[in-house]
Structure 1
Amino acid sequence: MNPILTALKKLTEDPKYMSLFTLIAMLLIFYPTTNYAFNPYFLLIITLNPYDGKWYSFFINNNIIFTGEFAVKTLIFTTILSATALVSIKISQTLTKNTLKESEEEKNSTKIIQHWKINKKIASTALILQYLTLIALIALTFLVWYGMFLQYTTTFLTLTRYSIIIISALGILYLLHPILDSEETLSQACLNIISNIKEGYQEEDIKKIEQAHFMLYILLNHTLSKNMKELEEFNLEPPLTTLYLALLQNEKEPLNRAKTITTNLLKAINQKKTQDILKNLSEIDKKLGDVQELAKTMEISVHYPSLTLYTFNPSKKTSRLKTIIPLITQIPPAVLIFLAKWLYYTTFQL
């Protein structure tokens, strides 16, 4: 195979490299684009006011003089932003389709969970940073519009342009990632992993158990939160810690009991049967009480993923809307301060 094609294949297979490449590419695209569309040029006029004997320096934004040209520049930026967003969505659809197709093979069960985990972590981080930058953009717009810290206005405008670059690049990065939030696919992947765990398993299988346990926690929270308003009062961590430790014991009896409960939980998730989930969770205390006592005695704690970072949203439209909103919202503030806020002045005396 062609070395370039091989490198590109590896790039798309590893979400981390794909994300880094995408982010750099978007920064390289939006830096010159925003520099062209939102880089203000000021006409400086210095005049003396004979009534107070002070000199005034007026900075008039050239965009107010060449409004039509600014409108064309803004339209070009919007068109490039829309085009890259559409291309990213198309690539995301292809990546999603290919990844889910590969996950149908039992040997790729670990791979689909790993891909989901990395993609979700990167995408969630990008989304959080995008909204934080949007808040900064709105704050900068407020400062410029109301003429606060006039001596820093040009600096604020530069920071505003950088904010637009960051929001755009992070938004495209989010849109590019495949949407793998399928309860059926991920629960089946966990089932495949658990069913292949047998007494006397090797050290490398521990990582697979960790992945299945990680995904089980995410899926349970997602499924129960849709049907139980009091989920915040229901702590999943103690029973799942017991279940996890039972799977790690590598002894026939506790391992088989833990496998049975885990399998039943995953089947209930797949079938969206909340009552069956609660029933099987209660079975953990009854059937794995000895493991639970061991965990308490040894004061063992298990790390659980952040539900803010590892959100689960099967709706593709809702997922994409989250990042499209900042992409659209950033344009009005940019127009507001790069066009409408056309004048400010400073006074001085000779």
Structure 2
Amino acid sequence: MDDLLTSPLHDRHTALGATLGAFGGWSMPLSYPDGTVAEHTAVREAVGVFDVSHLGKLTIAGPGAADFVNRCFTADLGKIGPGHAQYTLCCAEDGGVVDDIIVYLVGPDEVLAVPNAANAERVAQLLRAAAPEGVEITGRHRDLAVLAVQGPKAPEVLVTVLPGAADLAGMDYMAFADVADVRVCRTGYTGERGYELLVPADDAPRVWDALLAAAEPLGGRPAGLAARDTLRTEMGYPLHGQDLSAEITPVQAGSSWAVGWSKPEFWGRAALVAEREAKPARRLRGLRATGRGVPRAGMAVLRDGERVGVTTSGTFSPTLKVGIALALLDTASGVGLDDTVVVDVRGRELECTVVKPPFVPSHVR
């Protein structure tokens, strides 16, 4: 892993005994010595602190930058105002998803985009190729660290660490504000109340240490990307490259809510409108195991011996203590909610019930 980029907190993770893994060209913590289940449980019951500095960071700035971004990505930036963030999609002309992105609307002439690590450069290239004169796209990948504080006790941690953040503890979902040189947004990828902090890279170790010091007396702990994955799967949140991809459109993936259908222009609009009107050939659903076993991505879903779909994500749910999965099910199969299907887990049949995610209640708001 010598050729991988490292977070500004790399030394902190190794000192904590983290197991490291490759994510989008970065070496990032998968888990810490107490394990993924302990980290997952801490986020659901108290608070967890994540380093997600591998995420991309792009500033789009110049006259009319927000209008430009709105002509590119799917969601309607006109529905939010400065100081709010929005989940959106960067699509290809055929409707496939290049990436899913959080955009921060700073003002009419500035937007901060946070794409996934593996796709950040591709998104930047597409924006630069389409940008009007005067609008510049600047990569800030190494300038900023991203720390996520997630869980019911996250507000207590935030107020302890950031002087002057008392007003932010009750901020609206997807709102953001700057406290000194830290940008704080009420968002996350876990289904729990939480915040993501964009911190200057040089300050990240100090802020990380302070967050952990405030979290530990509350039952909190550092959490790695393995727990982030089990948490997001329990919520049914899509992971790009698995549940959303160049081959899986937002219409198929149940992400139509992130598309501004009334907008006259965005990348992939014609293809997505056509698919929506024709009805998609497959849809993303949840599967909850009723037997013993854990489904994983890429496993066949069967009914009465016939293949009706494929799993896109799968894991053991630490909250429910059963296997869960997201799966693309063929619309023509007629399989619907509450129906029973079988997942082929390496030659063994695992019976599952089709459900609508989330698998556990969301507390993000």
TM category (shorter chain) comes to: under 0.3
The structure with the greater share of residues assigned to helix is: 1
Alignment TM-score, normalising by the size of structure 2: 0.22
Alignment TM-score, normalising by the size of structure 1: 0.23
